[in-house]
């Protein structure tokens, strides 16, 4: 039980590289989503559509980040 609490998790270069690649992919999705949300804000009235699209792309960016990291760990990058 104590070993689980005091377990040290050190990351190596491969872990940091996979984390950075996943963050990069998520950032691309989020940047694209912010741009498309701003374009949608110009076309539509009200803040509801703007907010929903922005939150949707935020969730999608997180899913892409986690999915990319899982894919890269499975591939062994």
For residues 25 and 68, the answer to whether their CB atoms sit within 8 Å is yes
Per DSSP, the three-state class of 7 is coil
Average pLDDT over residues 8-28: 91
What pLDDT score was predicted for residue 66? 97
29-70 pLDDT, tens per residue? 999 999 999 999 899 888 888 899 999 999 999 999 999 999
Binning pLDDT at 50, 70 and 90, where does residue 2 land?
low
What pLDDT score was predicted for residue 8? 67
What pLDDT score was predicted for residue 6? 67
Indicate the helix (H) or strand (E) that contains 17.
helix 13-43
């Amino acid at each position: 039980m104590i070993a689980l609490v005091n377990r040290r998790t050190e990351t190596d270069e491969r872990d940091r590289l996979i984390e950075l690649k996943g963050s990069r992919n998520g950032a691309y999705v989020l940047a694209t989503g912010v741009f498309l949300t701003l374009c949608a804000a110009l076309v539509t009235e009200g803040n509801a559509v703007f907010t929903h699209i922005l939150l949707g792309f935020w969730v999608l960016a997180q899913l892409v980040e986690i999915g990319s990291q899982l894919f890269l760990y499975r591939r062994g990058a």
